[in-house]
Amino acid sequence: MNTRVVPVDPLLPNLDAIEEATRLLRGGGLVAFPTETVYGLGANALDDRAVAAIFAVKGRPPTNPLIVHVSDIAAAAELVAEFPEPARRLAARYWPGPLTLVMVKTGRVPDGVTAGGPTVALRVPAHPVALALLRVGRMPLAAPSANPSTALSPTTAEHVRRGLAGKIPLILDAGPTPGGLESTVLDVTVAPPRLLRPGLLSPADLAAVIGPIDATPVVTEATRPARAPGSHARHYAPTTPLELTADVVGLVNRCLDRGSRVGLLTWRPAAARHNLVVEQLPADPVGYAAGMYAALHRLDAAGLERIIVEAPPPDDAWLAVRDRLMRASAPSASVGEVPAG
Ligand code: AMP
Ligand code: MG
């Protein structure tokens, strides 16, 4: 299959491109499109076969449910049996935005979307291109990140192309996605609501609207159905082995002394050295998140023996960044607990 990359204005999406994407989606096809978090691989969420194609193209385990993107609160309400009060308050405050709410589904939502479970994960994305697709297409879009399963998430159309070229007909290219990290996922079917995946909105952002939430980290054994797709221990990972450490100087020295060529991802200035490729990101969690996947994609493409990542600060604002880096550093066969951090 030929994969077309079509440029779209990120603020005022051209209707031609949106209509072409809509035609493909209506026919059961897949379209990669930007959201404010990362690029998504979209399919009509109400079309069983289109949803099955997402799993096939990504190599995603069928036990990993998908997030369904909708145009507004009313469209979300059509897919759930109940819209609990805390969910209403959060949706009113943060939609459109990087917050995914897990609620009890109705029979309209195919089982493939929810991995056979009784709940569906919903969000209204804030990116103008994603919203235009949802509004023009008038269908909910199931859309996980547009990359092969467990690989680094895509924050540019080029990342999507590298991972999925030949497997999907269309990528809408609106430039780099602004947020750079996946949405926060909150299960509102339980009291207090439970954080299933940290993301761009922090637990404090949620607690400010609905009071205390349960933010204990969730990790699912790789062999069992995930409660949340991103909760498998290994995920968001480059193909180059990645090591997360607080002792960057010691580890870099040991590797360079052995003659290894290594990459360093850090939020502090680092001196250039022979055989060391440095990617320095902003020292604030929002700036770091925005650039993190792109920096990891560059390091992964640089033919290095290892990527060393300087552990981010321990405070809450860095929770989602730490979560992704811990999963990226998990060995591929890893099961069980990831440190709470
Ligand atoms: P992604 O693969 O980036 O789209 O991530 C999907 C996220 O959606 C996972 O981390 C899960 O937390 C979440 N998710 C989707 N559907 C459900 C569901 N029915 N129950 C719980 N979590 C879900
Ligand atoms: Mg993903």
User: DSSP string spanning 258-317?
Assistant: TT--EEEEESS----BTTEEEEE--SSHHHHHHHHHHHHHHHHTTT-SEEEEEPPPSSGG
Between CA 19 and CA 136 the distance in angstroms is 7
248, 149: one domain: no
Cα angle 259, 261, 263; round to 5 = 140
Question: Which residues, in sequence order, are bridge partners of residue 87?
Answer: none
Q: Enumerate residues with CB within 5 Å of ligand 2 (an ion).
A: 145
For ligand 1, atom 4, name the residue with the nearest CA: 144
Tell whether 229 is covered by a domain.
no
What is the helix (H) or strand (E) element at residue 198, kind and residue range?
A: none
What lines the ligand 1 site, CB under 6 Å? 65-67, 100, 102, 114, 117, 119-121, 144-145, 182, 185, 196-197, 227-231
Between CA 52 and CA 54 the distance in angstroms is 5
* C-alpha 65 to ligand 2 mean position (Å): 11
pLDDT of residue 340: 37
pLDDT of residue 217: 80
* C-alpha 323 to ligand 2 mean position (Å): 13
Question: Residue 282's domain is classified under what CATH number?
Answer: 3.40.50.11030
Minimum-distance ligand 1 atom for the alpha carbon of 196? 12
65, 169: one domain: yes
180, 122: one domain: yes
* C-alpha 65 to ligand 1 mean position (Å): 5
Q: Which of 339, 172, 310 is nearest to 243 (CA)?
A: 310
63, 205: one domain: yes
Question: Which residues, in sequence order, are bridge partners of residue 31?
Answer: 42, 170
259, 206: one domain: no
Question: Residue 149's domain is classified under what CATH number?
Answer: 3.90.870.10
For ligand 1, atom 6, name the residue with the nearest CA: 229
pLDDT of residue 233: 63
User: Which one-letter DSSP state was computed for residue 105?
Assistant: B
Tell whether 282 is covered by a domain.
yes
Tell whether 310 is covered by a domain.
yes
Whose atoms come closest to the Cα of 122: which ligand?
1
The domain in which residue 73 lies consists of: 4-219
C-alpha distances (whole Å) from 294 to each of 150, 180, 331 are 16, 8, 21
Minimum-distance ligand 1 atom for the alpha carbon of 115? 19
pLDDT of residue 332: 54
195, 58: one domain: yes
pLDDT of residue 236: 80
168, 248: one domain: no
Radius of gyration over every alpha carbon of the chain, rounded to an integer in angstroms: 19
192, 327: one domain: no
pLDDT of residue 272: 85
| Whether 308 contacts 325, CB under 8 Å | no
254, 303: one domain: yes
pLDDT of residue 336: 33
Whose atoms come closest to the Cα of 235: which ligand?
2
193, 274: one domain: no
* C-alpha 141 to ligand 1 mean position (Å): 14
pLDDT of residue 58: 98
Whose atoms come closest to the Cα of 147: which ligand?
2
* C-alpha 149 to ligand 1 mean position (Å): 13
pLDDT of residue 337: 34
For ligand 1, atom 12, name the residue with the nearest CA: 228
Minimum-distance ligand 1 atom for the alpha carbon of 40? 4
Taking only the tens of pLDDT, the chain with its 341 residues reads 999 999 999 999 999 999 999 999 999 999 999 999 999 999 999 999 999 999 999 999 999 999 999 999 999 999 999 999 999 999 999 999 999 999 999 999 999 999 999 999 999 999 999 999 999 999 999 999 999 998 999 999 999 999 999 999 999 999 999 999 999 999 999 999 999 999 999 999 999 999 999 998 886 544 344 455 445 567 788 999 999 999 999 999 999 999 999 999 999 999 889 999 999 999 999 999 999 999 999 999 999 999 999 999 999 999 999 999 999 997 654 333 333 33
Tell whether 227 is covered by a domain.
no
Q: How many separate domains does the chain show?
A: 2
